[in-house]
Structure 1
Amino acid sequence: MHDFPDSNFKLVILDQLLKEGSFTKRLNELRSDPKYAENYTGEVDYGEPIPEIEDFLRDVKLTDDDLEKVTDLCFDGGNDIYQIICPFWDGESDYFDIRDIGGFELLKNLRSVTCISMISRDQIDRLRSTGISVR
């Protein structure tokens, strides 16, 4: 099982894995729980992270098999995972900014990264220096 020093970097990885169907069963159960479901309806302006959903995602233990599935990453405030955690996040705060990509070497099949926002130039340079295609 693997974890990453910056849990916001881990969220970017999870965003990619969720697109492939990983962890969606438990996440959908949480999101449909009446305790949280109203936060996604738009009837309640829930601009703060939903603690139970955020905790679930940050606590997911990633295996080697999970990490092998990751071939691309996208650093962008519009990633789906942020609206799952904080349904009405406006993208204006630095709450989800990635400060450290430590452990990216574990993503052995990572080939390309799209950097739109939320990551510093020095972290982008770390990726680029290993031959990963950075856009």
Structure 2
Amino acid sequence: MTTPPESIRRAGTNVLREWMPDRVLRLMVLQQLIDAGEVEPITAEAVYPAVRGEPYDDSAAYGHRFNEDIAAYIDGTPVDEAMLAKVTRLPTDPAADLVFVIWPHFDGESDEFDVTDLSGLDRLPALAELFVEVRREADLAVVARCADLTAASLDCRVPLDLSTLAAACRLRTLELLHAENVGDLASLRALPELATLRLHGDPQALDLRPLLDMPALTSFALLRTAFAEGTNPSALAFGDNAMVLAALFARGIAVETR
């Protein structure tokens, strides 16, 4: 991996690089610290001259690729433990300012900004809201260890096991995108405060009966946003899942389906 020359590295400790192996996750944290005023804004106009010794040129060819030296330089921004205690939410935002410093004309055409490892999330002691795409097999135990986490949105781009999420005892809101990649909701019954559950995608085979054992549930949404070829969009209107939805409605739970 290309790293900036020693002469242009910034002074100060960066605990993120010790605690979070995934660089994209570190950049997400850094973006939040910038937005919170804990770190000075990072602009292309300032970074490119610092790294390359020449002014930033918006029309240059490097505007259309991932610039490893720029990414490494930004990743070296000093971040200490006290700063991490200020991070309360962590969204996946493809329009984050840092993305466009590293790749000025990025349009989602590549995977350099995909999070591949969630390790170290539990080093954010005040993290209450998490929004992240899961594109590789991931152990959600680290998410469950975030003691103050109350809301999570997981974009499940790969098959995902929710069983370790059962230890996230303060979780009140859970949103699962591409929920067809979730095999079982049974472990969510262990979440005593889960009040809102939203499923997006085409989870036709997903058994909804565990919802009947979630006493704190007040809102449930099943939003089928895509249908695989040959599937039946109305499948969830019949059988056990239909009875579950009816039972939830009878309990006064707000039920939204489409």
TM-score, normalization: structure 2? 0.43
From 71, 96, 112, the counterpart of 1:79: 96
Distance (whole Å) between structure 1 residues aligned to residue 66 and residue 55 of structure 2: 11
1:1-135 equivalent positions in 2, closer than 5 A: 1=13, 2=15, 3=17, 4-21=20-37, 22-24=39-41, 29-30=46-47, 35-39=54-58, 43-44=59-60, 46-115=63-132, 117=133, 119-120=134-135, 123=138, 125-126=140-141, 128-130=143-145, 132=149, 133-135=151-153
Percent identical pairs in the alignment equals: 22
How far residue 26 of structure 1 moved from its aligned partner, in angstroms, is: 8.3
Structure with the higher strand share, 1 or 2: 2
> Comparing both chains, which one has the higher relative contact order based on Cα–Cα distances under 8 Å and sequence gaps of 6 or more?
1
How far residue 47 of structure 1 moved from its aligned partner, in angstroms, is: 1.2
How far residue 71 of structure 1 moved from its aligned partner, in angstroms, is: 0.5
Q: Residues 7 and 25 (structure 1 numbering): CA distance in 2 closer, same or farther, change over 3 Å?
A: closer
Report if the CA contact (8 A) 1:49-1:86 is conserved: yes
How far residue 15 of structure 1 moved from its aligned partner, in angstroms, is: 1.2
How far residue 51 of structure 1 moved from its aligned partner, in angstroms, is: 4.0
> Aligned-residue CA RMSD in angstroms?
2.8
Q: In the TM superposition, what whole-angstrom CA distance separates every residue of 1:22-62 from its partner, at most 9, and x where no partner exists?
A: 032687632576824213xxx33511133443122112232
Distance (whole Å) between structure 2 residues aligned to residue 23 and residue 127 of structure 1: 29
Distance (whole Å) between structure 2 residues aligned to residue 128 and residue 7 of structure 1: 17
Distance (whole Å) between structure 1 residues aligned to residue 124 and residue 91 of structure 2: 14
Report if the CA contact (8 A) 2:118-2:138 is conserved: yes
Output the amino acid matched with 1:8: V
Specify every segment of 5 or more residues in structure 2 that has no aligned partner in the other structure, as ranges: 1-12, 154-258
Report if the CA contact (8 A) 2:120-2:142 is conserved: no
Q: Residues 127 and 113 (structure 1 numbering): CA distance in 2 closer, same or farther, change over 3 Å?
A: farther
How far residue 101 of structure 1 moved from its aligned partner, in angstroms, is: 1.6
TM-score, normalization: structure 1? 0.77
Distance (whole Å) between structure 1 residues aligned to residue 108 and residue 125 of structure 2: 30
Moved more, 44-53 or 122-131: 122-131
How far residue 95 of structure 1 moved from its aligned partner, in angstroms, is: 0.8
Q: Residues 97 and 70 (structure 1 numbering): CA distance in 2 closer, same or farther, change over 3 Å?
A: same
Structure with the higher helix share, 1 or 2: 1
Output the amino acid matched with 1:134: A
